[in-house]
Chains A and B, each alone.
Chain A
């Protein structure tokens, strides 16, 4: 923990080896959270769908709502072809949703607050969309980078711009998720440190400490919102990129 009088907001993102012998193979607490998120997501679907009731219970309703939400999102955004990409989108969405929501709990680690993780996920999405575009349109896919109705001379400028714009998705998609998750946790840490520091000042500090605690309480609710929203944003942007790859604009 931080020395008294200093706010140490970033040490919470430090990775350390987890699970003893496994940890020495580079298995950190971030990886543990990924496994936990995956197990929880699979467990919700498996346990929820076991009754197979006509009138669903609570768990089954939750599982069905998640399924239908992701299904509608992929079909409405990508088009009818979205059905083929639905398993991918659903997996991505559930993984991030559970990971982000777990990260709100104290002592838990948010794996999406590491740029390595989000960058790896983004690379997976972008490489997949590129391969899908090449698979469906063969070499015609490269016409995606050539805007229509433009004088030929300008293409020298516009094609590199389009290529850069395409490649910048890798950064914007990964940084968006990473920055949102990290910023929220830094805020929580800062206001948590305020509570302790102000509370230590004696009776005069109790009111501001209470205020900071109130702010932290609101921030936790806000974090839950951000966790769900960012999982959704990541999934819908993946859908939009897949739509572009399938339809070429």
Chain B
């Protein structure tokens, strides 16, 4: 049995390949495919981007206004937080399109499942 020399890992690998051929296992997620066949529509993307931008700005304004109200320094914190909110919005949008570092599927493959939980 030359194929068994790889040990249990090779067996797992062959089992997975066989299951995949039979369609028993979900396909491994390939980049660019998991968002549907043609991807989200331009309108949906635009909607998401605008929501991200506006929500960060709204939170920043709320924080700045609240701090001003607490400390009686109106309008300085509001002025300081509005550009920060804009930057946070851009950061949100960047996070939306940037490749995710150490995303889920890679973790499930490499780290062993927690035993006995």
Residues of chain A having any CB pair with chain B under 8 Å: 72, 75-84, 157, 160-162, 164-165, 167-172, 175-176, 179, 239, 243, 247, 249
Contacts and interface: CB of A to CB of B under 8 A. Distances in A.
B108 A75 contact: yes
What are the 6 A-B residue pairs with the smallest beta carbon separation, nearest first? A171-B55, A164-B88, A168-B56, A172-B55, A79-B107, A165-B88
A168 B89 CA distance: 8
Contacts of A179: 47, 51
A169 B89 CA distance: 10
Contact residue range for chain B?
Answer: 20 to 34
A176 B104 contact: no
A76 B104 contact: yes
B92 A80 contact: no
18 contacts: A75-B104, A77-B104, A80-B114, A82-B104, A84-B117, A160-B84, A161-B87, A161-B88, A164-B88, A165-B56, A165-B95, A168-B55, A168-B89, A172-B56, A176-B47, A179-B51, A243-B103, A249-B102
Contacts of A72: 26
Interface in B42-77: 47-48, 51-52, 54-56, 58-60, 63
B75 to A, nearest CB: 17
Judged by DSSP, the binding face of A is helix
Contacts of A77: 104
Contacts of A172: 51-52, 55-56, 92
B48 A176 contact: yes
A80 B60 CA distance: 35
Contacts of B105: 76
Tell which of A76, A79, A162, A164 has the most Cβ of chain B within 10 Å: A164
B108 A168 contact: no
Tell which of A160, A170, A239, A249 has the most Cβ of chain B within 10 Å: A160
Contact of B60 (A76, A157, A164, A243): A164
Given A75-B108, A172-B92, 12 more contacts: A76-B105, A80-B108, A83-B117, A164-B56, A168-B55, A171-B51, A171-B55, A175-B51, A179-B51, A243-B103, A247-B102, A249-B101
B59 A171 contact: yes
A243 B51 contact: no
